[in-house]
Every structure is written in structure tokens, then in C-alpha cells.
Amino acid sequence: MPQDAVKRSDQRVGVFVDVQNMFYSAKAIHQSKIDYSKLLQEIVGQRNLVRAIAYVVQKPDVDQSGFTDALERLGYEIKSKDLRLRPDGTAKGDWDMGIAIDTIAIAPKLDTVVLVSGDGDFVPLVEMLKAHGCRVEVVSFRKSTSNELIQAATKYTSIEESMLFKERRFQKDDNAGN
């Protein structure tokens, strides 16, 4: 299929970003952060953006208001929940169910659902959306993405270095003093 047929200007697109999944992958793999402006531009292109939702988990000791304000200015709707600390000391804070519910609810108004996550838990969601006639694109870091998720997607796109900010504080001290 020609690329222009895939990204038609009349195509309605929804973008659903698993922020925690992307944050930790960018940090671990590239010692960097995602440039969410470039990411959204690259995903949408000339298509018609219906909604872009960023799912954020708030940690009690971290002020993410600057980050979430910036995302809103870029056109993302923010959905936020607090990290839950369990009695055994472990923490829970994923948005898998919320992302699934939102994509299913919004899918009838979209031609393409773009899932920005590498989490293999989304494979059944991708398969269900495709069965209902939706194109499903997955955008993530190849190294931290489930092979099953890549196989399930209509199209897979790896996040490139051009979509990242390099963060000095994340980089290893291999060149200390240079």
C-alpha cells in the first residue's frame, strides 16, 4: 500500500500515549526524554487529529505540573492518576485499563488508533480494534516493545533519536572531566 494511502489527509487519528512506559524506556535505552511535540507531528503528519491523550501517573514526591502543562500546550489531553502504594511496599500505577476503555469508546470516531506504548498487555486490545475495522499503529522503542504487539499492529513505527531530548543528568559519567 503506498504511504500516501496510509496517511491520507482525511484520515481521523486518535493518539494514546502511555507516558510512564515511554519515560522509562527513553531513560533506560537512550538516556533521554521524548520530544512530545515532534512525536505528535511525526505520528499525525497531514492527517486529522481527533484526540491526543497522554496518560500520566503522579508520584507523591514529584511535581509534574510543568511537564503536564507543556503537554497540554502541545495539544495533548492529560489523564492523571496517583501512584498507589500497597501495604507490602510495592506500588501500582499503570493506565492499561483506562487506555483500553478510552480507545474502545473513541474508536468509532476514528480511522486510526495510534498506541504509543511497547506493552504487550495491549495485544488483545489491538486485535479487537482491528476486528472492528480500525487501523492500529503502534509507536514505541523497538528494544522495549513486545514482539506480539508489533505483530498485532497494522503498522509499527520505532521512535527515532530525532524525537528525543538528550538529558545530561541521565547520561552515565563515562566522560567525567572531559
Decide: 114 and 13 in contact? Cβ < 8 Å.
Answer: yes
Domain boundaries, the chain: 9-167
Mean pLDDT for 18-24 is 92
User: 142 in helix, strand or coil?
Assistant: helix
pLDDT tens-digit map of 65-104: 999 999 999 999 999 998 887 888 777 788 999 999 999 9
Decide: 42 and 159 in contact? Cβ < 8 Å.
Answer: no
Specify the CATH number for 9-167; select among 3.40.50.880, 3.30.1360.40, 3.30.590.20, 3.40.50.1010.
3.40.50.1010
pLDDT tens-digit map of 26-61: 989 888 999 999 999 999 999 999 999 999 999 888
Confidence (pTM): 0.86
pLDDT tens-digit map of 112-134: 999 999 999 999 999 999 999 99
